[in-house]
Amino acid sequence: MRSIPKRVAGAVALAIALPFAATACGGGDSGGDSDTIVIGTKYDQPGLGLKQPDGTLTGFDVDVAKYVANELGYSEDQIEWKEAPSAQRETLIQNGQVDFIAATYSITDSRKEKVDFAGPYLITGQSLLVRADNNDITGAASLENNKKLCSVSGSTPAQRIKDEYPGVQLQQYDTYSACVEALKNGAVDALTTDEVILAGYAAQSPGTFKLVGDTFSEERYGIGLKKDDTELRNKINDAIEKMESSGAWKEAFDKNLGPAGIQAPQPPAVDRD
Ligand code: GLU
């Protein structure tokens, strides 16, 4: 892609897999990949990033990513999506397997040692999801009473439980959808992650789950990109600001997260430091 370091591995794979297609298009530079942008997102989080049976992706993160890509000069059909599970995000960026990631990705100091972030473009907080008929889980502290809690490896909510509630029996899965199944079938008693994610799962199975307690952290979602690529970071920040000020941000929020009962907040100010 233009003005962004090439994804060498991707270019080699493309050259091997599609020599005729690449030649036929005649497009791109010698790297062969300048016509597409690779974006990482979640595939299993309703309202944020969800792969539909027909292969298309929907959700607020997906719409933010599409808007940003468009501002960078890439139309929707030039986007190559890549699944970005929580624990793999830094590696996908560092290895150049994606150009950027929009995947409920909290900006944190420890992640900033490995990657850079544009944004934030959404602020939410950690919460708990339980089965609708549960009455004894009221907040994180009540989980220390021999409850099994599910969260995802490499996520900030899992880390916070380990740091602040070491008495809780935490089970770490690879994805939140696997935690939702475990919660449904009784293998765990609760699921913890960001409120917007949990609200999406609750809305997906009406009457099955409920959110409990107040949020107990601040999660600032950013777009992850290669460390020290200031040019790309500035361009993505410009795109986020334009999306927020034009009304497209609110429209995307209402469309994707409104059905889960979440009111659109004021869009956050982008951090230019
Ligand atoms: N926002 C949190 C994080 O980045 C939790 C959601 C997720 O795992 O994607 O770790």
For helices 248-257 and 230-246, the axis angle rounded to 10 degrees is 80
**Residue whose CA is closest, atom 9 of ligand 1?**
104
* Three-state secondary structure string covering 139-155: CHHHHHCCCEEEEECCC
Residue 70 CB contacts under 8 Å (≥ 6 apart), including other chains: 76, 239
How far apart, in Å, do the first and last CA atoms of the chain sit?
26
> What angle is formed at CA 237 by the lines to CA 249 and CA 118, rounded to 5 degrees?
100
Please, where are the H alpha helices in the chain? 8-17, 19-25, 60-71, 89-94, 109-112, 156-164, 176-184, 195-204, 230-246, 248-257
DSSP 185-202: TTS-SEEEEEHHHHHHHH
Ligand 1 center from residue 158 Cα (angstroms): 9
Largest Cα–Cα separation, the chain: 64
- Fold observed for domain 125-218: D-Maltodextrin-Binding Protein; domain 2 (3.40.190)
Distance of alpha carbon 104 from alpha carbon 194, whole angstroms: 8
Q: Report d(CA 78, CA 38) in Å as an integer.
A: 9
Half-sphere exposure of 91 (CA within 13 A, CB side): 7
Among the atoms of ligand 1, which is closest to the Cα of residue 105? Answer: 4
The answer, yes or no, to whether any atom of ligand 1 lies below 6 A from the CB of 33, is no
Q: Note the pTM of the prediction, 2 decimals.
A: 0.89
Q: What is the pLDDT of residues 237-269, one digit of tens each?
A: 999 999 999 999 999 999 999 999 999 999 999
| Binding site membership of 45 for ligand 1 (Cβ less than 6 Å) | no
CA separation for the pair 128, 140 (Å, rounded): 8
Query: Two tokens at 57?
Result: 């992706």
Residue 8 confidence class, pLDDT cut points 50, 70, 90: very low
How long, in residues, is the chain? 273
Which residues make up the CATH 3.40.190.10 domain(s) of the chain?
37-124+219-260, 125-218
Model pLDDT for residues 218-235, shown as the tens digit of each residue: 999 999 999 999 999 999
Q: Rounded to whole angstroms, how far apart are CA atoms 14 and 33?
A: 8
The per-residue pLDDT of the chain, averaged, comes to 91
Classify 32 as helix, strand or coil. coil
Q: Determine what percent of the chain is predicted with pLDDT higher than 70.
A: 88
Report the 10 Å Cβ neighbour count for 272.
9
pLDDT for 12-41, tens place per residue? 455 545 444 443 333 334 344 569 999 999
Which atom of ligand 1 is nearest the CA belonging to 155? Answer: 10
Give the fold, CATH level 3, of 37-124+219-260. Answer: D-Maltodextrin-Binding Protein; domain 2 (3.40.190)
DSSP state of 47: T
Mean pLDDT of 172-192: 98
